[in-house]
Amino acid sequence: MKRPHAWRIAVAAAAVAAAGAGLVVRHAVGGPRDGGVSAGLAAMDRLPAERTLPADVARWVESSAVATNTDAAQAKTRVRKLRANLGAARSDLYAYRAASGGTCFDLTAQVALCPKDAQAGPRGIQWVTGGGFGSVPRNVAALVSDEVVGIDLVVGAGTQRVPIRNNTIFAELPSSPGSEELRLTFRDGTAETIALPDEH
């Protein structure tokens, strides 16, 4: 009677150990359990740091560095300008790496984000929406990791390919109500869909 019981315990223990090992391996190789932009942002290494910053960007770097426990003086020397003259507001997009490994970015005069780390949020992307004031239409801007090879913006029945430049996307959104989605295609052939909130 005792021998089958001990055998079952041994099998169960082996199964638990195997499952645990599988989880460890998937994390180690950057598998699909890793979210956000943990697959990397090559543009942050490729582009040179900005020598001077606009006053509002410098102020934001200082305040956001405090919020992310990052040395503000060092952060200001690491800022990259990833995009320029975006949309009706002609915003620029600046970014720097925080101490957590997350990348803070600022769509000037609109919105900014400091993710808690590189893994924060859905796989492949850290997005924000902006605009929606005065004559500036709503828009979506995002950091996109190196493993993303394509992004489509789907609004209602229409689909628009959004170019990925310097690991970022930007697109203005229509004023008409309707569902809005980002469809991400990854280098490994998989795809993910992110529905943007429908409260405007």
Partner 1 sequence: MRTLARIGLVAAVLFALAVGVARGWSQMYVNVAVFAPAQTAASSFNASLSENYIQWDNRYGGYPSVGLRYCASNGSCYSWVWSQSPGVFYDHRTISYGLGECHAYGGNNYNVWVSGCRVSNG
**Residues contributing to the site for partner 1 (CB under 8 A):** 36, 56, 60, 63-64, 67-68, 102, 106, 108-117, 120-122, 126-133, 138, 194-200
Closer CB to partner 1, 45 or 199, in the complex: 199
Residues 6+ apart with CB under 8 A from 113: 104, 105, 126, 128
Cβ 111 to partner 1, closest distance in Å? 5
Of 109, 105, 111, which Cα lies nearest the Cα of 125?
A: 105
Closer CB to partner 1, 43 or 106, in the complex: 106
Cβ 113 to partner 1, closest distance in Å? 5
Q: Is 92 exposed, middle or buried (0-12, 13-18, 19+ CB in 10 A)?
A: middle
**Rounded distance between C-alpha atoms, residue 67 and residue 15, angstroms:** 43
Cβ 4 to partner 1, closest distance in Å? 39
Closer CB to partner 1, 9 or 56, in the complex: 56
Cβ 114 to partner 1, closest distance in Å? 4
Closer CB to partner 1, 87 or 130, in the complex: 130
**Rounded distance between C-alpha atoms, residue 90 and residue 70, angstroms:** 29
Cβ 148 to partner 1, closest distance in Å? 15
**Rounded distance between C-alpha atoms, residue 87 and residue 58, angstroms:** 22
Closer CB to partner 1, 120 or 149, in the complex: 120
Measured CA angle at 107 (ends 168, 69), to 5 deg: 95
